[in-house]
Amino acid sequence: MYFVYAIRSVEKNYIDVGMTSDLERRIKQHNSRRSFATRPYAPFVLIYKEAHPNRVSAREREKFLKSGSGKEFLKSLF
């Protein structure tokens, strides 16, 4: 099982989209500033998640959420 997720920075106007097989561990990594790309934007709150049966379908959805249409969808959630 793979998860596609979106997290929003509590302090800055920043949304990150990612994919993982262990969602809880990955969110903790982001919030403990162990992810280089998101380190300056921590802490984060989870704003969206989806479960997928395999890595291929999760990656396709992740790519969509990182596109312009996907970003607009995520912004409409809050």
Domain ranges of the chain: 2-75
pLDDT at residue 77 in the model: 87
- Tell me if the pTM is above 0.85: yes
pLDDT at residue 41 in the model: 95
**Average pLDDT estimate for 17-43:** 95
Which of the listed CATH numbers 3.40.50.720, 1.10.3720.10, 3.40.1440.10, 3.30.70.660 matches domain 2-75? 3.40.1440.10
Please tell me whether residue 58 adopts helix, strand or coil conformation.
helix
Tens digit of pLDDT for each residue in 32-54?
998 888 999 999 999 999 999 99
How crowded is residue 77: how many other Cβ atoms within 10 Å of its Cβ?
10
pLDDT at residue 13 in the model: 92
- Which ranges in 1-78 belong to alpha helices (H)? 23-31, 55-65, 68-75
Tens digit of pLDDT for each residue in 50-78?
999 999 999 999 999 999 999 999 999 87
